[in-house]
Amino acid sequence: MAARETTDGVNWAGFVLIGGFVIFSVGAIIGFVAPSLRDAPWEGDLAAIAGNPAAYRWANGLILASGIVTALGLASLNVRFADRSRSWASMGLVAFGFAAVFLALDRILSMEVTTWAVSQSQETALVVFDAFDQFDDGLSGLFYFTGFASLGLYGIALTQTKLARGSGWLFVGVGLLGIGLAIVDGVIKGMIFLGTLGLALATWRLGQPPKPDTQTNTPTP
């Protein structure tokens, strides 16, 4: 049996994964609504950052934190798998660990490089921003590939349980579709965190596997 089919205690992993999605959502909302384009000196992304650099830092900082929180949630989730399903879940955790690292690098560099650039002359800012934008595309691509691969691997783990077998194949499909869309630049970061939210809900009923019996039989004289 791949996982015990009853709920065992509080599903902390689910709550942490939901928390990661909420943190990401707050950061994304700040990024969309806080910058003021009206009084900014330039157009486009540079204008938004120059108009409200504090909001830009908050948005990126929260998105960075959401990756770390989600990785912790997935690490807690892995104890709810056993045998072969845990092996697949462990590979999924490693994949998302890389995704969290790529996301952190992307956001840290974005905060430091871009906010410095907007304080320079317009010509310098545009050159730096364009160069960083190309580098950022590479980090984002690595994040998408490892993030969606993680969802697919967790999906394979779920196919080996009775309570979540159907949703497991759904996650396998989402992972493959997400990788395909990432190749054609048709995804956003929120899709991965929406996937981890779905993973929290899909695994909610999976209890922790029973611990092995550590008692030993003492020989009778």
Going residue by residue through the chain, which has 221 residues, state the pLDDT in tens, using 9 for 90 and above: 344 434 445 678 889 999 999 999 999 888 777 654 334 444 555 666 666 677 778 888 999 999 999 999 999 999 888 888 899 999 999 999 999 999 999 888 877 777 776 666 667 767 776 777 777 788 888 999 999 999 999 999 999 887 777 888 999 999 999 998 888 776 777 889 999 999 998 888 776 554 444 444 444 44
Does residue 2 lie within any of the structural domains?
A: no
Which one-letter DSSP state was computed for residue 78? G
Does residue 207 lie within any of the structural domains?
A: no
Does residue 5 lie within any of the structural domains?
A: no
Does residue 89 lie within any of the structural domains?
A: yes
Does residue 198 lie within any of the structural domains?
A: yes
pLDDT at 90: 94
User: Structural domain of residue 75, as residue ranges?
Assistant: 12-202
Does residue 216 lie within any of the structural domains?
A: no
Cα–Cα distance measured from residue 101 to residue 107, given in angstroms and rounded to the nearest whole number: 10
pLDDT at 220: 47
Does residue 43 lie within any of the structural domains?
A: yes
The residue written with tokens 């004289």 in the block is 221
The residue written with tokens 């990788």 in the block is 179
The residue written with tokens 């902390």 in the block is 12
pLDDT at 181: 87
Neighbour count for residue 26 (Cβ, 10 Å): 16
Task: State whether the Cα torsion 16-17-22-23 is positive or negative.
Answer: positive
Supply 196's token pair: 């981890």
Does residue 104 lie within any of the structural domains?
A: yes
pLDDT at 118: 66
The residue among 57, 106, 88, 91 whose CA lies nearest residue 164 is: 88
Neighbour count for residue 63 (Cβ, 10 Å): 25
Say how many CA atoms lie within 13 Å of 24 toward its Cβ: 25
Cα–Cα distance measured from residue 62 to residue 101, given in angstroms and rounded to the nearest whole number: 14
Cα–Cα distance measured from residue 192 to residue 147, given in angstroms and rounded to the nearest whole number: 6
Question: For the chain, how many structural domains are there in total?
Answer: 1
